[in-house]
Amino acid sequence: MAGRVMLELKSVERHFVQGSKRLSILSGTDFSLHRGEMVALVAPSGAGKSTLLHLAGLLERPDAGEVVLDGRACGRLSDDERTAIRRNDIGFVYQFHHLLPEFTAVENIMMPQLIRGLKHAEAEARAMQLLDYMRISKRAQHRPSELSGGEQQRVAIARAVANAPLVLLADEPTGNLDPVTAGYVFEAMEALVRQSGLAALIATHNHALAERMDRRVTLQDGLVAAL
């Protein structure tokens, strides 16, 4: 893969204590995600996919090792600095959409841009462009509860990329959808990733979708391994 490394995990460890047991979910793993590539993270439930994505997305800190985003080591940064990177450089999509229920689709996509300091008109134009790209501009003025599951996820994906992040992290983004809808949503996400050239790491149980990505990795004994 020729593109430059956008996300790098270096000897990352994450352990949890459950009762008297110490679980090593990540035990010193390395992983690199390059510009322009889409990588599937395929592993059974409980293997540590969400844990890895949360660390990569700076939502949590590793117990040891380093997360490097576009050459910048994030471990020693303050919470405020990490929040700024999360807002500007990382897009995160969850299995459940996590859209704000009292706001419309277009407003949900505008929100991260407004927080970043963009003017209302600029944010709205970008949000409408993304809705159009996801082929749901007709739903712009609808609230999340008025959207289908597939539409909700498309809005969530549009919101995740609204600030043109460097890296898109998605945690089973189609896990809650029927296979046909999952295919459509994935297609829209793929088009967006390909067009913007960002780097994407997508946890999925769907092998058909995993096959469409550039490469597949799994978690084995706390380490990322090629599939």
Nearest CA to 105 out of 87, 128, 135, 88 is that of 128
Nearer to ligand ADP (CB atom), residue 48 or residue 144: 48
3 binds, among Mg ion, ligand ADP, none (CB under 5 to 8 A by kind): none
Helices (H) and strands (E) in the chain, counts: 7, 10
Give every CB contact of residue 100 below 8 A, 6+ residues apart in sequence: 107, 108, 111, 144
CA dihedral 147, 144, 179, 195 (to 10 degrees): 100
According to the binding rule CB under 5 A, does residue 174 interact with Mg ion? no
DSSP assignment letter at 176: T
The only residue of 50, 153, 174, 206 in contact with Mg ion, by rule CB under 5 A: 50
Least Å distance between CB 130 and ligand ADP?
27
According to the binding rule CB under 6 A, does residue 49 interact with ligand ADP? yes
Quote the CA–CA distance of 193 and 27 in Å, as a whole number.
Answer: 30
> Of the ranges 41-49, 94-102, 158-166, 190-198, which one interacts with ligand ADP (CB under 6 A)?
41-49
Least Å distance between CB 144 and Mg ion?
22
The residue ranges that bind ligand ADP (CB under 6 A) are: 16, 18, 23, 25, 43, 45-51
